[in-house]
Amino acid sequence: MADTEIAEEVLYQMAKALKFMAKCNLVHRDIKPANILYDTRVRPDGEFYYHFQLADFNLSNEVATARTVAGTPVFMAPEVYDRQPQSFSADIWSLFVTIVWIRNIDSFRTYSTDDKIELRDKITDIAQLDIFCLIRGMAVQDPKRRMSARRLVALLEGDSKGAPAETSGPMRSRHWTS
């Protein structure tokens, strides 16, 4: 399975996990590749697939009490870095960065900086690439304007309301990236 296909499956399965967490009023606060476990399973037709699971809930918190800086710096949402109130949208930002890491866009896996402004600008610049046109709402710096997990799952399952005009049909049935 290519990085693109893995990224698509991680995005969909983790979006569903984050939607569930939001329903439970929890924010994970440390979404990153190392906290996504997987195993290989077999469908009834004999085809293999990856099943991904979110792990390491040590930093998780109810939204009302999620205030401290927590997580892995390169994957942290701007509001976490800035010690602002945190919501479910912080996990959406981190999931986008995880997808960028999986795809290794612009050699992201080896990218390093201590400058939080440079980092968030790099993420928002990457989000402007055509390959991310359908999910760039995950990387909006203002958490109030960032795409929700519920909206992301709906988009991935084919509800294209509010998506770019070129979007039609379920994203699960075709690649959302090139």
- The residues annotated as belonging to the active site are 30
CA 128 to each of CA 12, 23, 121, 132, 160: distance values in angstroms, whole numbers, following the listed order: 20, 29, 11, 7, 19
**How far apart (Å, rounded) are the C-alpha atoms in residues 63 and 56?**
17
Give exposure, 41-63, as e/b (b: 16+ Cβ within 10 Å).
eeeeeeeeeeebebeeeeebbee
- How open is the CA angle 108-7-119, to the nearest 5 degrees? 30
Largest CA distance in the chain: 49
**How far apart (Å, rounded) are the C-alpha atoms in residues 12 and 153?**
7
